Structure 1
Amino acid sequence: MRVFSDLTEYNKYLNLHPPLHPLMDSRVCKEAIPNFPQTSEEIQVNLFRISLKKNFTGDIKYGRSQYYTENGLMLFTEPGQIASWDSLTFWDGYAFVFHPDLVKKSAIANKINYYKYFSYEISNALFMTPAEEETVTWLFTKIHYELLEKKADANIEVILSLLNVILTYAELFYERQFKEKSSNPISISLKIKSILQNHYNDFSQPVKSIPTVSSIAGELNLTSNYLSDLVRAETGKSTITIIHEFVTEQAEILLLQTDMNISDVAYQLGFSNIPYFSRFFRKIKGTSPSEIRNQRKR
């Protein structure tokens, strides 16, 4: 697998001109994309990339992910992510690509670490309203022309300021998107509960392990970070809290309604360490498994 940590080499792979600045580059998509190789094996890109895709309607497919939109969307990728494509779909908009060194000495570096959307998958793109798209387009345009006109002499502080505004708006727009998704007829918390119920639907034999945020996110075709943000927007809780509360409810049912000893209850639910199960249960319920079992004997 080829690895790109240099803007010049990355642009060369994409059949593009050398970057406008040693640490960053801005592209007008409708001009750049026709030059791209139509197919690409997996490549690792150790650069930050922010894309604004607009002016297209229909099903857009990237690898195995497919989605439909009539408005613009934004995508964020961080260094180390893997990309590949079988064919290209043409779109309008901008792409801003920059080396991590551009922001290392800036407060933006901490913001990027805080904003989880850089690790979202393609299917978790930011779908914008027309007003949001207009705002972001203006910011991308300012960055592009600052680089296009001044190239290596571009004012880095100006560009970082514009980048900071884009990232701040993206966080706000994602919050709006999370709230809209959480108001859907089938909420994300109900989907999680359904997965957990299926995991523990047969008490005739022990389960192999306790569900994790990662395993549930995988079943929902979401990244763990995106799932956690959706859950927090809807419930105010973390995904792991919802999982742990469900597991302790199952434990309480077994303790109150069966003759299984505490060790068997723990094993049944996917715990291999009995002391850990007791600490886990007490942390969630505020009481021990033994105390719950004693309630059954009264």
Structure 2
Amino acid sequence: MSKILKVRNVNDYSRYVGCAEQHPLVSVIDYAEVSPIRHSLNNYSVYGLFLRDDAGVDLDYGCGKYDYNKGTLLCVAPGQVGGKEDNGERVAIAGWALLFHPDLLHGFPLERRIREYSFFDYRINEALHMTDEEHDLLVSLMRQIREELAGKPDGLQQAILVSYIELALNFCQRFYNRQFVTRKIENSDILVRFNSLLHDYFEDKLQLTLGLPTVQYCADRLCMSANYFGDVIKKTTGDTASNHIRRFVIRLAKNGLAAGETVSQVSDRLGFEYTQHFSRMFKKQEGITPSEYCQGLRN
């Protein structure tokens, strides 16, 4: 049975690593001040940004593993499990952590907007690898948050804390966008593998038992989270992964119609449950119905 630390609030984790309580809803930890610490496999009910500067620490996250490199950022959200199970060993680590409870955001626009930061759902092997400048900027923000926490609370403290956190998240989004660009060759390879996967899917007739391929299916087969996969495809092609799948399906449909198959035959072969669903997708993509497309071929 795995030993899991339930991080119901920010200070559950702070107490575990030996950091003094700073605020009921926010905690900033400088690992240099509490290291060495014991490992912990954490079940989070809070948001967390973990900036690790030590290499060679093997961590679990969901079903995967990751070896941290210096300047790596991992973002976690409520409902996720990550870390490494406590085996009694104390390890020296370096870096920073920012944890905040969802209740901190109550009444602020960030409460709704935080769902837009898709990197909270990335897998561990999709963590952010920051440049030295990016690393230093994020650390400076964590220091400012900690200074604010050390001051006397007043009527503006919560708003200031939320503003700092939103600024940190926006910088993280910018850094991830930079990473997508600098890893363009890798991303192009992902697109090639995506197209190959779609080709094999229909070649193996999986659509007849599984239906049309989904973004989640493709992401799983390519060993990525759906969010990260979707972001890579959007940055690489300018379009969504789901639209890419639909365009692939329509190309197959056009080939079948041009070869003399009926609309119903194409619909069945491509795995549509109902012909009208196929016709609706075709018209949405092409602006005409499959029948009108066939008529155009005959003319």
- Normalising by structure 2, we get a TM-score of 0.84
Shift of 1:243: 0.5
Alpha carbons 2:201, 2:207 under 8 Å: kept: no
Corresponding residue for 1:182? 184
Which region of structure 1 is more displaced relative to structure 2, 159-168 or 276-285?
Answer: 159-168
Q: How many residues align?
A: 291
Corresponding residue for 2:72? 73
Which region of structure 1 is more displaced relative to structure 2, 259-268 or 273-282?
Answer: 259-268
Say whether 1:98 aligns with 2:97.
no
Mapped to 2, the partners of 1:215 and 1:272 lie a distance apart of 18
Q: How does 1:232-247 map to 2 (within 5 A)?
A: 232-247=234-249
Letter in 1 for 2:275: I
Shift of 1:188: 3.0
Alpha carbons 1:256, 1:295 under 8 Å: kept: no
Which region of structure 1 is more displaced relative to structure 2, 161-170 or 124-133?
Answer: 161-170
Corresponding residue for 1:273? 274
Against the structure 1 CA distance between its residues 81 and 39, is the aligned structure 2 distance closer, same or farther, given a 3 Å change threshold? closer
Say whether 1:5 aligns with 2:3.
no
- Normalising by structure 1, we get a TM-score of 0.85
Alpha carbons 2:58, 2:84 under 8 Å: kept: no
Shift of 1:24: 1.2
Shift of 1:228: 1.5
Mapped to 2, the partners of 1:204 and 1:45 lie a distance apart of 37
Shift of 1:205: 8.7
Q: How does 1:163-242 map to 2 (within 5 A)?
A: 163-184=165-186, 186-202=188-204, 206=208, 208-242=210-244
Percentage identity across paired residues of the two chains: 27
Corresponding residue for 2:60? 62
Map Cα deviations across residues 160-195 of structure 1 (whole Å, 9 max, x no partner): 332222112111111111112234484432221111
Which region of structure 1 is more displaced relative to structure 2, 237-246 or 212-221?
Answer: 212-221
Alpha carbons 2:71, 2:135 under 8 Å: kept: yes
Which region of structure 1 is more displaced relative to structure 2, 227-236 or 154-163?
Answer: 154-163
Against the structure 1 CA distance between its residues 185 and 150, is the aligned structure 2 distance closer, same or farther, given a 3 Å change threshold? closer
Alpha carbons 1:182, 1:188 under 8 Å: kept: no
Map Cα deviations across residues 9-43 of structure 1 (whole Å, 9 max, x no partner): 4445x35355211111111124445333x354xx5
Alpha carbons 1:207, 1:269 under 8 Å: kept: no
Which region of structure 1 is more displaced relative to structure 2, 63-72 or 26-35?
Answer: 63-72
Mapped to 2, the partners of 1:86 and 1:244 lie a distance apart of 42
Against the structure 1 CA distance between its residues 90 and 110, is the aligned structure 2 distance closer, same or farther, given a 3 Å change threshold? farther
Mapped to 2, the partners of 1:159 and 1:128 lie a distance apart of 23
Letter in 1 for 2:60: Y
Against the structure 1 CA distance between its residues 95 and 205, is the aligned structure 2 distance closer, same or farther, given a 3 Å change threshold? closer
Against the structure 1 CA distance between its residues 208 and 264, is the aligned structure 2 distance closer, same or farther, given a 3 Å change threshold? farther
Mapped to 2, the partners of 1:246 and 1:186 lie a distance apart of 17
Which region of structure 1 is more displaced relative to structure 2, 267-276 or 109-118?
Answer: 109-118
Corresponding residue for 2:116? 114
Map Cα deviations across residues 205-225 of structure 1 (whole Å, 9 max, x no partner): 945311111111111222111
Unaligned runs of 5+ residues in structure 1 are: none
Corresponding residue for 1:29? 31
Letter in 1 for 2:231: D
Letter in 1 for 2:169: L
Alpha carbons 2:29, 2:96 under 8 Å: kept: yes
Shift of 1:95: 0.5
Say whether 1:49 aligns with 2:48.
yes
Alpha carbons 2:187, 2:232 under 8 Å: kept: no
Letter in 2 for 1:44: N
Letter in 2 for 1:236: G
